Amino acid sequence: MLPLRNNLPEQRRGLLKKLLVSATGPLRILESHNGLSALIANDTAISSSSGTITSFDGIWISGLAETASRGLPDIELQGLTARLALCREVAMVTDKPMVVDGDTGGTIEQLQYHIRLLEGMGISGLIIEDKVFPKNNSLDMVKPQVLEDPDVFARKIAAGKQAQLSEDFLLIARIEALIAGKGMPEALMRAQKYLLAGADAIVIHSRSGRPDEVLEFARGYQELCRANQLDVPLVCIPTTYGSIKEEELFEAGFKLIIYANFLLRSAYLAMKETAEAILEHGRSLEAEPLCCPLPELFKCIEPAVRAVPKN
């Protein structure tokens, strides 16, 4: 039987917005770069000694993971249209909300076009970053990080919000000022402009090895929201500052935590070790401990289809 999911796009699209409203703790979403990794993100759960079940709340369609899985650099080479194929692949085998990495969003016309497409697919949200096209990956320490003019980016947000048809879809603004070394005042200034333009959430991105600057931003952001009488969720991507616990981030004001590229990076490492083991030993026996048993793989990709409710 195929692992097809049974929620329709219109049912799925509003899931993240509902979770953000009702959450009493941090929401976590995990990167997926193909159907198999999506099944892992969707279905993995652990239980504590008290019986509490912990799982991921949604799925992140990462630009880095999507392009790297094709063997390409993360420089907006193919554009967002190519990412839609991955969205469809993931949507077919999962039922949790999906958030898509939109890079810079392209032109206003491209952004509006893709928002309509994503809405129709049942995607919950799109994150766009305030850098000039074509952007470089934010964690690349060698390539330059060129920021877009904040007023230009704010107009792009406003145009994107005008294009959407559903109140359920979230257009999320990602601030790259700290990545570009422009400092906290610049980051907070951009946050205010994007909030007033209608952004549904704000991502503050950092490549510091410590969480200090995102926590400092969160304090300033809360003051900013109070001054403007707004309650807009704050999002973080703790790829480089992974020592901080989710509960600490939630207490600081972060409602959504994106684990952006961990499945891809762990898969790359495992595949490389397996390939080297085969070459080193001239056979596959030594590679077997690095691989899951085939029955376990079959169990993941061949579960029974969930029963379709009858009217």
Higher model confidence: residue 7 or residue 167?
167
286, 290, 293, 298: CA torsion to nearest 10: -130
Q: Which residues are catalytic?
A: 74
List the structure tokens of 197: 């333009």
Q: Report CA dihedral (196, 202, 205, 210) to the nearest 10 degrees.
A: 110
Q: Give 157-172 as a DSSP string.
A: HHHHHHH---TT-EEE
Domains, the chain, in order of start with CATH, read 9-262 (3.20.20.60)
Query: Residue 311 — pLDDT band, cuts 50, 70, 90?
Result: very low
- Asked if residue 298 has pLDDT above 70, the reply is yes
The Cα–Cα gap between 136 and 15 comes to 31
Tell me the β-bridge partners of 29: 58, 258
Per-residue pLDDT of 139-187, as tens digits, reads 998 899 999 999 999 999 999 999 999 999 999 999 999 999 999 999 9
pLDDT of residue 306: 45
On the question of pLDDT at 33 being above 90, the answer is yes
**67-124 pLDDT, tens digit each:** 999 999 999 888 888 899 999 999 999 999 999 999 999 999 999 999 999 999 999 9
Q: Is the pTM of this model over 0.85?
A: yes
Q: What is the overall mean pLDDT for the chain? A: 93
Can you tell me which residue has the tokens 């392209």?
106
Burial class (CB in 10 A: 0-12, 13-18, 19+), 286: middle
